[in-house]
Amino acid sequence: MTGLRELVPAVIGVLVRRGADFASAEDAVQDALIRALEAENQPRDLKAWLISVAWHRFLDTVRADSARRDRELAVDAQPPGGPVPATDDTLRLYFRCAHPSLPPAAAVALTLRAVGGLTTKQIASAYLVPEATMAQRISRAKRRIAGAGLGEPGDLPTVLRVLYLVFNEGYGGEVDLAAEAIRLTRQLAGLTDEPEAAGLLALMLLHHARRASRTGPGGRLIPLSTQDRNRWDTGLIAEGVTILRTALARDRLGEYQAQAAIAALHADARTVAETDWVQIVEWYDELLRLTGSPIVRLNRAVAVCEADGPQAAFAALDGLDPTLPRYPAVLAYLYERTGNRTQAADLYAAAAHAATSVQERDHLTREAARLRQLDA
Amino acid sequence: MKYLLLKHYRGGPAPVVDYPPMDQWTPQEVDAHIQYMNDFAAKLEGTGEYVDSQALTPEGAFVRYDGAGRPPVTDGPFAETKDLIAGWMIIDVESWDRAVELAGELSAAPGAGGRPIHEWLEVRPFLTGCHTVTE
């Protein structure tokens, strides 16, 4: 039923053009979508069917509302004349769902429902919250953006950040969020010629290509340096690199393109030893110039260590706040590279203590254990 | 009946086995321990007895209301709290005896040298909802 979900944004667009407000249109389409998912036989023309069911659902709601409140609603059941490109509607939907006034979790949920066509139940299961909680999060989000007109210019960086958040969540429940994020970003990149949208798509594809090699037995984390590179998906890598090249040729660099460039350089190395660390450091310099982010400086230090050795990397850490997430883990790695295993193991243990995920905690504990075993 | 199997970083009766912290085990021992935990949860999923499990970070804080118009008061984190919860597993089983049996099994997870860690787990029955028929 993947074809069904792809129709959702267009169907919402049709209802909005016919005069429905966004929040009601979105609800009506969600109802129609659930009915379609539960139906035994698929209608031949799914899109026409969805539009018809959703529109009637919407009219029912409006009639019930107006009867209850005894007020006139300016709803004209006739579709306005003149075709409007559906792509514009879909693009506006992205901007609306990832409106800058929404908290990230709300924008994520609304985007997955209205643009992604997932049901509230699926989104709830992906984020491990009760369905009623997710339903409330979505309706609060819709109330919040009710005043924002469909015509107002969108904020692409916010849309990209929302899609990036969805991608990073990985998988939970029955929905593969990483694959869903790729699908939505691919669609977005087709709707706008902003190179950062292509950059984000390339970044996702290049990371997704390594997914099979990133975890070992029992879900344990396998770092880039020890991944089985034969398991990388060369098709996804080739696609990511091609998209990135085209984006970079536009000469409007942004943070996603720079991150994708780093991922592409890793993907390009058949062994760790073949990694072009000097170029990676250069891309980190670009990324740092674009973002000024301390996290980028921290990651850059690891690349500097590979390119110029641990002493240069210690210098690269200079002035960074030691309470940054992953700072002790990076420091541990640098000490390990200097051969100071005891110090490194203690730092890995401290990093495990401060870890924010079970996988990361277990990985860092294992790193500490590995070094202590070498020393024993 | 649902039961909470509560795992503590510190607290509870005196440990019967004095095992070193996990980062001082060998990597193989760490893996074996994690594998045991995963297998245990998978087994309970298979028997229809698993509900949920979560791990907590070692640091947090105590928080309380401090009156209208005032921000909440926080206290901690405390480096040396006597009782520190590390995480939990929730199971849905037939009886208290079954809950105890499973907690015993979980506590046998291997540690340094592959020997069971004999960790104390706190088993707490959930208060149930109100049943429609109570007589």
Q: B130 lies in a domain? A: no
Tens-digit pLDDT profile for chain A (376 aa)?
558 888 999 999 899 888 888 899 999 999 999 998 888 888 888 899 999 999 999 999 888 877 766 644 444 444 444 555 667 788 889 999 999 889 999 999 999 999 999 999 999 998 889 999 999 999 999 998 886 654 555 689 999 999 999 998 876 667 899 999 999 999 999 999 999 999 999 999 999 999 999 999 888 899 999 999 999 999 999 999 999 999 999 999 999 999 999 999 999 999 999 999 999 999 999 999 999 999 999 999 999 999 999 999 999 999 999 999 899 999 999 999 999 999 999 999 999 999 988 999 999 999 999 999 998 7
Q: B63 lies in a domain? A: yes
pLDDT of residue A234: 97
* Residue B120, min C-alpha distance to chain A (Å): 21
Q: Which residues of B64-92 are buried (b: 16+ CB within 10 A; e: fewer)?
A: eeeeeeeeeeeeeeeeeeeebbeebbbbe
Chain B residues close to A365, C-beta within 8 Å: 22-23, 30
As for how many domains chain B has, the answer is 1
- Please state, rounded to an integer, the average pLDDT across all residues of chain B: 91
Q: B38 lies in a domain? A: yes
Q: B114 lies in a domain? A: yes
Angle at A40 between CA A79 and CA A90, to 5 degrees: 35
Q: What is the mean pLDDT of residues B48-55?
A: 95
pLDDT of residue A75: 47
In this complex, do B22 and A365 lie within 8 Å of one another by their Cβ atoms?
Answer: yes
Confidence (pTM): 0.88
Select from B25, B34, B58 the Cβ nearest to the Cβ of A353: B58
- Residue B111's domain spans which residues? 2-125
Q: B135 lies in a domain? A: no
Q: For residues A275 and A55, give the distance between their C-alpha atoms in angstroms, rounded to a whole number.
A: 55
* Residue from A221, A346, A359, A362 whose CB has the most chain B CBs within 10 Å, to mutate: A362
Q: B131 lies in a domain? A: no
Owner of token pair 């009637």: A56
What residue ranges in chain A does DSSP mark as E strands? 171-172, 175-176
Chain A positions contacting chain B at CB under 8 Å are 217-220, 345, 348-349, 352-356, 358, 361-362, 365-366, 368-370, 372-373
Select from B38, B57, B59 the Cβ nearest to the Cβ of A218: B38
Specify the range with the lowest mean pLDDT, choosing from A98-102, A232-236, B16-20, B121-125.
B16-20
Q: B64 lies in a domain? A: yes
* Residue A354, min C-alpha distance to chain B (Å): 7
* Residue A142 · residue A23 · CB < 8 Å: yes
In this complex, do B26 and A348 lie within 8 Å of one another by their Cβ atoms?
Answer: no
* Residue B49, min C-alpha distance to chain A (Å): 18
pLDDT of residue A70: 60
Asked whether this complex has an ipTM greater than 0.90, the answer is no
pLDDT of residue A76: 46
Q: What is the CATH number of the domain that holds B10?
A: 3.30.70.1060
Q: Is B38 on the interface with A (CB under 8 A)?
A: yes
In this complex, do A349 and B23 lie within 8 Å of one another by their Cβ atoms?
Answer: yes
User: Domain locations in chain A?
Assistant: 321-376
A276 class by beta-carbon count within 10 Å (0-12 exposed, 13-18 middle, 19+ buried) = middle
In this complex, do B57 and A369 lie within 8 Å of one another by their Cβ atoms?
Answer: no
Q: For residues A161 and A167, give the distance between their C-alpha atoms in angstroms, rounded to a whole number.
A: 10
pLDDT of residue A86: 67
Select from B30, B38, B57 the Cβ nearest to the Cβ of A366: B30
Chain A residues close to B59, C-beta within 8 Å: 354
pLDDT of residue A153: 57
